[in-house]
């Protein structure tokens, strides 16, 4: 397993220590690992979202594809057991 060494402001370190104290993370290293995993996942999701947007910009839905969507949505809502 690789190791990353970094410097952080005292305030951020105190916040990380509070996370450990509160049981959110087991250790400082665990807190950093969890934060990096969340950052990577956030970026991955943003890239996927942008790819979807780009796809619709390259090939927007036409009237035939959009026809009946409002009615289908209403039907799904009416079927729901609220």
Residue 64 confidence (pLDDT) above 90 = no
| Residue 32, CA distances (Å) to 2, 6, 74, 75 in order | 13, 10, 45, 46
For helices 10-21 and 28-58, give the axis angle rounded to 10 degrees.
Answer: 100
Specify whether the CB–CB gap between 16 and 28 falls below 8 A: yes
Residue 27 confidence (pLDDT) above 90 = yes
The percentage of residues in the chain with a pLDDT greater than 70, rounded to a whole number, is: 100
pTM of the model as a whole: 0.73
């Amino acid at each position: 397993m690789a190791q990353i060494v970094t410097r952080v402001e005292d305030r951020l370190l105190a916040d990380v220590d509070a996370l450990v104290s509160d049981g959110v993370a087991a250790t400082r290293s665990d807190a950093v690992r969890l934060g990096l995993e969340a950052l990577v996942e956030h970026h991955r999701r943003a890239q996927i979202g942008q790819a979807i947007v780009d796809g619709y910009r390259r090939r927007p839905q036409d009237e035939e594809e959009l026809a009946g969507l409002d009615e289908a949505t209403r039907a799904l809502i009416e079927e729901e057991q609220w």
